[in-house]
Amino acid sequence: MRLITVAGPPSCGKTSLVVKAGASLKSRGISCAVIKFDCLQSRDDELYAAAGIPVSVVLSGGLCPDHFFATNLEEAFGWASQTGADMCIIETAGLCNRCSPHLRGALALCVIDNLMGIDAPEKIGPMLRLADVVAVTKGDLVSQAEREVYRYRIRQMNPRGVIRHVNGLTGQGCAELASIMAVAPDIASVTDMRLRFAMPAAICSYCLSEMRIGVRYQKGNVKKADFGGSHGAENGE
By residue count, the chain amounts to 237
Q: Is 89 within 8 Å of 57 (Cβ atoms)?
A: no
pLDDT tens across the length of the chain (237 residues): 999 999 998 888 899 999 999 999 999 999 999 999 888 778 888 889 999 999 998 888 877 777 788 888 999 999 999 999 999 999 987 666 777 889 999 999 999 999 988 899 988 889 999 999 999 999 989 999 999 999 999 999 999 999 999 998 888 999 999 999 999 999 999 999 999 988 777 677 777 777 787 788 888 877 666 666 555 444 444
**Integer Cα distance of 29 and 33 in angstroms:** 13
Nearest CA to 211 among 32, 13, 62, 35?
62
**Integer Cα distance of 160 and 225 in angstroms:** 34
Residues of the chain with CATH 3.40.50.300: 2-181
Query: What CATH superfamily classification does 2-181 receive?
Result: P-loop containing nucleotide triphosphate hydrolases (3.40.50.300)
**Integer Cα distance of 175 and 186 in angstroms:** 20
Backbone angles phi, psi at 199, to 5 degrees: -70, 150
**Integer Cα distance of 76 and 78 in angstroms:** 5
Q: Is 185 within 8 Å of 87 (Cβ atoms)?
A: no
Nearest CA to 76 among 157, 179, 187?
187
